Amino acid sequence: MSAAHPISSTRRLLSRLRDVMAGSGTAQERLGKVVAAIAADLVTEVCSVYLLRAGEVLELFATQGLKPSAVHKTRLRLGEGLIGEIAAHASPLALSDAQNHPSFAFRPETGEEAFHSMMGVPLVREGRVIGVLAVQNRTKRQYSEEELETLETVAMVLSELVCGSELVGREETLPVDGIGLLPLRLEGTFLNGGLAQGVAVLHRPRFVVRQLVAEEPDKELEDLGAAIKDMHGALDRMLESTLVTSGEHRDVLEAYRMIAEDAGWLSRIEDAVRSGLTAPAAVQKVQNDTRLRMNQIADPYFRERIQDLDDLANRLLQHLLGDGPGLDVSELPENVILVARNLGPAELLDYDPKRLRGLILEEGSPSSHVAIIARALDIPVVGRVAGVLAKIESLDPVIVDGDNAQVFLRPGEDVAQVFYDSIAAREQRRAIFARLRDLPAETPDGHAISLMLNAGLLVDVQHLAESGADGIGLYRTEIPFMVRAELPDVESQATLYRKVLDEAGGRPVVFRTLDAGGDKVLPYWNSTEEEENPAMGWRAIRLTLDRPAILRQQLRALLLAGAGHDLRIMFPMIAEVAEFDAARRLLDRELSRHAAAGGAPPSDLRVGAMLEVPSLLFQMPALLKRVDFLSVGSNDLFQFLFASDRGNPRLIDRYDPLSPPVLNALRTVVVNCAEKGVPVSLCGEMGGHPLDAMALLGVGFRTISMSPPAVGAIKAMVRSLDLGELEHYIRGLCETDGHTLRPKLRAYAKDHGVAI
């Protein structure tokens, strides 16, 4: 036996299998012939098929080479032995010395002690493992990559045979924890806030590839080529469609479009066709293989790319098979809560955004493309809801509480009523805030407050006009960096920043330079070191000062975009004055370069720092001599002041920003800035909560930056607040020593008619 198993012999084996499958006999008999054919073709002494039965047990269903009496007797739990391990991890194994593998579980009834090497692959159907196909040899054989490929191709064909055969009753293969139709509350991960109610629409690719083995491989290749061309054309049209005109969600789609051109992906499909599969079967095989291989990878970026590839594979199948999950919009309910294992960005856009109310995913992460698109569409999303697809039926009533990362399936009347009321109240508040849009953010005692937006997507900037905010107080430039497949070059950054400035229409925009690193992973970043405390690690200005080319390119892009504009640049995570000086020097170099190249200067350039590391509190005089403005990043400042990880759910309520240490620190900043005439603002999350924002005004802030949906509520608070009186009250409170000032401030707001 040669080490390799060339494509032509895979093709021969597949056509043998096709004949067996089409032949006579019961499913069990045909399965017996299949294992014999595989063993003969791959020159293995053993070939066995194990199928998953109810109770997560893998049962030997057919074998060539092991003792026939073991069939239907030998059983392994999922995870038990090598077979159980292949099924549990949904990943192949090829071992020359299987018996010495730590997971080996000896089953004497099979007679397998004679066989030393083994190679096994999972049988997978619709993303679920349904069994294992394994071969064994007496010698310590080294199975080649090509042989493994062949076994995977065969496994795919076999999975279809098994599923179409009733070898295992369908009810047995359903997930075991079916929950009946009781109301259920499930928790997940926050991917986007908001509240929605509607009915479940289950997103499952519904393609059934019936013909697996090609009659005419050349014709299949032709069909594949045509379908790829069609798919590319359709994607281009989608990109041109009005819904996705601009912004980072367009970038996401463009990155996706690039994956659709990926030569590796396409050639793997072509190879699978050459090995004897039909074009649709080849797409499905590559889809299965990719999923299984990439599922082993921990890197979140690569795991997200599985989704893009899944999405593309389904799309390609749609072009090959002509129908499939094409959505008939007229059939969709009015209030769609979409439920999916995961989704690609384009798949989400296949659903009519007017009907889409919420999204529930079994997988998904905050940086996933689909989450970014969902945020742009302003729908609540809860991710990582374990097993939701198995627990929900199509058209079940569902409530998605994105704010609390929970979903209610088939909610009882009481629960539903609470949410209907709160959805209605939200709608009402929205209407009231919309009416405030054109009124000034001014307190009744005459203090003008500047309300700014935090933004990271171009769509956030588009909220400027509708929110009535005064400008962008924080533009988080890392978000566009995070959604791209590669580091954006100067020109594409400049184009984006230009769009942001255009969209802002003359209102100020504060661009914060890259705050990447730590947990904000850039996909193309080759940092292999795991950090124990990423928030306190190599991130933001630390990273960009160590890799100055990146910062210089970003500054260059900002200068190009800001030519003739009011340009504001802010450096994140400054911990000492020297860091600000170093960043400023880079900016000065870029300014000279820009001028030498004939670039127009900004009409006004202001350079500031974020105050989010407590060490800066003790360098205020030196810092204030250098900066044009300061912005307090209260999210980080708070976590560092209390040494309390902002992402740790156990610590969320442990300390309160409305407490004497925080408010005293903030007052010190404001007083110092006022003395030196340096404008100061705050751009952390607390600025978006009315009671917290009230306290901020009380300690002296006059500019606050917040997420777009918060502006209405904060403006309502401002317009109902007598600030002079509050300032006096807060001064006294800050001298107390309580754990939290929240109850007192809430009572104050109530007593004084402040809208919080």
Binding site for Mg ion (CB under 5 A): 612, 633, 636
- Residue type for position 105: A
CA dist 296 and 656 (Å) reads 40
Quick one: 104 or 538, whose CB is closer to ligand PEP? 538
Strands (E) across 365-479 are located at 381-383, 397-401, 406-409, 450-455, 472-476
Q: How far is the CB of 684 from ligand PEP (least distance, A)?
A: 3
- Residue type for position 386: A
Q: How far is the CB of 515 from ligand PEP (least distance, A)?
A: 6
Decide: is 612 part of the binding site for ligand PEP (CB under 6 A).
yes
Strands (E) across 351-502 are located at 356-361, 381-383, 397-401, 406-409, 450-455, 472-476
- Tell me the two tokens of residue 381: 């999303």
Pick what 476 binds: ligand PEP, Mg ion, none; C-beta below 5 to 8 Å, kind-dependent.
ligand PEP
**What residues from 499 to 528 belong to the interface with ligand PEP (CB under 6 A)?**
515
Quick one: 204 or 646, whose CB is closer to ligand PEP? 646
Quick one: 32 or 657, whose CB is closer to ligand PEP? 657
Q: How far is the CB of 714 from Mg ion (least distance, A)?
A: 20
Q: How far is the CB of 638 from ligand PEP (least distance, A)?
A: 8
Pick what 634 binds: ligand PEP, Mg ion, none; C-beta below 5 to 8 Å, kind-dependent.
ligand PEP
Q: How far is the CB of 443 from Mg ion (least distance, A)?
A: 28
Quick one: 251 or 612, whose CB is closer to Mg ion? 612
Pick what 495 binds: ligand PEP, Mg ion, none; C-beta below 5 to 8 Å, kind-dependent.
none
Quick one: 269 or 514, whose CB is closer to ligand PEP? 514
Decide: is 635 part of the binding site for ligand PEP (CB under 6 A).
yes
Q: Which stretch binds ligand PEP (CB under 6 A): 330-338, 367-375, 377-385, 627-635?
A: 627-635
Q: How far is the CB of 515 from Mg ion (least distance, A)?
A: 6
DSSP annotation of 298 reads -
- Tell me the two tokens of residue 231: 């798919």
Decide: is 692 part of the binding site for ligand PEP (CB under 6 A).
no
Pick what 213 binds: ligand PEP, Mg ion, none; C-beta below 5 to 8 Å, kind-dependent.
none
Query: 278, 634, 659, 703: which one contacts ligand PEP (CB under 6 A)?
Result: 634
Long-range residue pairs from 107-114, CB within 8 A, at least 24 positions apart, any chain: 107/70, 107/74, 107/76, 107/81, 109/67, 109/69, 109/70, 109/73, 109/74, 110/60, 110/63, 110/66, 110/67, 110/70, 110/74, 111/66, 111/67, 111/70, 112/46, 112/66, 112/136, 114/138
CA dist 449 and 473 (Å) reads 13
The gap from C-alpha 432 to its chain's centroid, in whole angstroms, comes to 33
Quick one: 149 or 612, whose CB is closer to Mg ion? 612
Does the active-site annotation cover 47? no
CA dist 232 and 261 (Å) reads 8
Q: How far is the CB of 673 from ligand PEP (least distance, A)?
A: 17
Pick what 684 binds: ligand PEP, Mg ion, none; C-beta below 5 to 8 Å, kind-dependent.
ligand PEP
Q: How far is the CB of 701 from ligand PEP (least distance, A)?
A: 14
Quick one: 442 or 519, whose CB is closer to Mg ion? 519
Pick what 683 binds: Mg ion, ligand PEP, none; C-beta below 5 to 8 Å, kind-dependent.
ligand PEP
For helices 742-751 and 723-734, give the axis angle rounded to 10 degrees.
160
Q: How far is the CB of 368 from ligand PEP (least distance, A)?
A: 18
The closest alpha carbon to 282, from 203, 204, 217, belongs to 217
Cα 45-49-51 angle, rounded to 5 deg? 160
Q: How far is the CB of 216 from ligand PEP (least distance, A)?
A: 57
- Tell me the two tokens of residue 355: 């009907």
Size of the site for ligand PEP (CB under 6 A): 10
CA dist 208 and 470 (Å) reads 54
Q: Which stretch binds ligand PEP (CB under 6 A): 222-230, 576-584, 632-640, 721-729?
A: 632-640
Q: How far is the CB of 579 from Mg ion (least distance, A)?
A: 15
CA dist 282 and 272 (Å) reads 5
Q: Is 519 in a helix, a strand, or coil?
A: coil
Quick one: 573 or 678, whose CB is closer to Mg ion? 573
Q: How many residues comprise the chain?
A: 756
Quick one: 85 or 612, whose CB is closer to Mg ion? 612
Quick one: 63 or 631, whose CB is closer to ligand PEP? 631
Decide: is 480 part of the binding site for ligand PEP (CB under 6 A).
no
**What residues from 410 to 429 belong to the interface with ligand PEP (CB under 6 A)?**
none
CA dist 204 and 46 (Å) reads 36
Quick one: 41 or 460, whose CB is closer to Mg ion? 460
CA dist 120 and 37 (Å) reads 16
Q: How far is the CB of 610 from ligand PEP (least distance, A)?
A: 7
Decide: is 476 part of the binding site for ligand PEP (CB under 6 A).
yes
Q: How far is the CB of 708 from ligand PEP (least distance, A)?
A: 14
Does the active-site annotation cover 163? no
Query: 152, 248, 311, 636: which one contacts ligand PEP (CB under 6 A)?
Result: 636
Pick what 708 binds: Mg ion, ligand PEP, none; C-beta below 5 to 8 Å, kind-dependent.
none
Decide: is 608 part of the binding site for ligand PEP (CB under 6 A).
no
| Cα separation values, 692 from 712, 745, 746, 756, Å | 15, 9, 10, 9
The closest alpha carbon to 61, from 173, 172, 167, 174, belongs to 167
Q: What is the dihedral of CA 244, 509, 615, 585, to 10 degrees?
A: 100
Pick what 698 binds: Mg ion, ligand PEP, none; C-beta below 5 to 8 Å, kind-dependent.
none
- Tell me the two tokens of residue 657: 């920003």
Among 369, 565, 594, 689, which one carries the catalytic annotation? 369
The closest alpha carbon to 260, from 332, 327, 345, belongs to 345
CA dist 659 and 638 (Å) reads 11
The closest alpha carbon to 684, from 718, 649, 639, belongs to 639
Q: Which stretch binds ligand PEP (CB under 6 A): 87-95, 330-338, 495-503, 628-636?
A: 628-636
Instruction: Name the helix (H) or strand (E) containing 146.
Output: helix 145-163
CA dist 10 and 153 (Å) reads 8
Among 47, 116, 463, 683, which one carries the catalytic annotation? 683
Q: Which stretch binds ligand PEP (CB under 6 A): 107-115, 142-150, 382-390, 631-639?
A: 631-639
Quick one: 409 or 683, whose CB is closer to ligand PEP? 683
Query: 84, 633, 690, 712: which one contacts ligand PEP (CB under 6 A)?
Result: 633
Pick what 112 binds: ligand PEP, Mg ion, none; C-beta below 5 to 8 Å, kind-dependent.
none
Q: Is 121 in a helix, a strand, or coil?
A: strand
The 327-366 contact track toward ligand PEP, x by CB under 6 A, reads: ----------------------------------------
**What residues from 672 to 691 belong to the interface with ligand PEP (CB under 6 A)?**
683-684
> Which residue of this chain has its Cβ atom nearest to ligand PEP in the complex?
633
CA dist 150 and 92 (Å) reads 12
The answer to whether 83 and 121 have CB atoms below 8 angstroms apart is no
Burial call 186-222: b when 16+ CB within 10 Å, e when fewer: bebbbbbbbbbbbbbbbbebebebeebbbeebeebbe
Quick one: 454 or 703, whose CB is closer to Mg ion? 454
Judged by the rule CB under 6 A, the positions of this chain that interact with ligand PEP are: 474, 476, 515, 612, 633-636, 683-684
Active site residues: 369, 683
